[in-house]
Amino acid sequence: MHNSKPKNPASIHLQLSGESVIPKYAGTHRITFLGADHPQVIDCNMRIRTPLTDCTVTLSFLTENKKTGERAATDLQLQIPGKYRNSRMTPAVYPTPAHWHPETGAAVCFKEIKAIICSESTKYVAEEFIAFAEKISGVKLKILIGDQRGRNAIFFRLNKELAFLGKEGYRAAADTSSIMLEAATAHGLIWAGRTALQLLMNGGFPSGAIEDYPTYPVRGFILDAARRPCSLGTLRKIVEFMSYFKMNDFQIHLSDNYIWLEDYADNGDLSAVNAYSAFRLESSIRSENGEAQPPKNMPTQKKNFGILLYGLKARA
């Protein structure tokens, strides 16, 4: 018979006590709380912040046997009641928001939005939203500065009380004719804008509220432009596409001088010798004659690549 080690050697049992989680465990062990997969709901001190909707949180512990010193990791799940029950229907947003609570009422449609209302501190976020929205929808919106009240508008507001959602977290809510976007940081407001834009492009922002934050801090991929070259214009489009879906990490492999020659070994010709890779980015390396050696196609100057990076950084 196969003997497996218990997944919970300290017999940890989790209890809810007011606004905290209390772990009960065997006296034969010491335990250390390592953290939760939803720190926005259960923080590092095991304090609970009531989420918008019911939430299952995984808590991780390190256990140590006092007698043997043996250590083990233990993950336990705990259901945290939210302000509202979970809805069976989720809005047409990708990635799916962490929490969604629907209300009765009609969705807010793009054609109903007449203005973007923001403060001076959120103006550049609103301007970025307007430029992005116009590019993919053709709709040009105007900005109104000030703490104005009104209908048929999207509101961008910084709210430091939402800091518990993290720098990328936000709240977004819609009633019958307006959309309220709030976050503790500009970064969070940008993602709130992407959520609103996705919904508006998919028929409208349904009446209700979203409370959202990413599951993973790094969300992206790598592109090998050294051996499969592409233009700076293509890179910009890729980044815009990533931004639309809240991806935040793009690694561009710009330079390489190696091709897997074994892929050409059986061709019986000079294809292995002529296999092409390149240093796409402008380099200070010179040939024996002191000449620069740009790639055969799609070379990238440092100046132009710097302009691309500067533009992307301004969006972050």
Nearest to 191, CA basis, from 208, 166, 174: 166
pLDDT score, position 268: 60
For residue 124, CA distances in Å to 127, 160, 310 come to 5, 18, 15
Q: 């233009």: which residue's tokens? A: 231
pLDDT score, position 148: 67
What's the token pair of residue 298? 């799609």
58: left (phi over 0), alpha (psi -120 to 50) or beta: beta
Q: 């970064």: which residue's tokens? A: 187
Nearest to 126, CA basis, from 149, 152, 154: 154
pLDDT score, position 177: 86
Residues in the chain predicted with pLDDT less than 70, given as ranges, are 1-6, 147-149, 257-278, 285-287, 289-299, 310-316
pLDDT score, position 84: 95
For residue 309, CA distances in Å to 33, 62, 110, 211, 253 come to 40, 42, 31, 30, 14
SS3 155: strand
How would you label 15-27 residue by residue, b for 16+ Cβ within 10 Å and e otherwise?
A: eeeeeebebebee
How far is C-alpha 213 from the chain's CA centre?
A: 8
Nearest to 208, CA basis, from 233, 235, 237, 179: 179
Which neighbouring-strand residues pair with 65? 29
pLDDT score, position 146: 82
SS3 186: helix
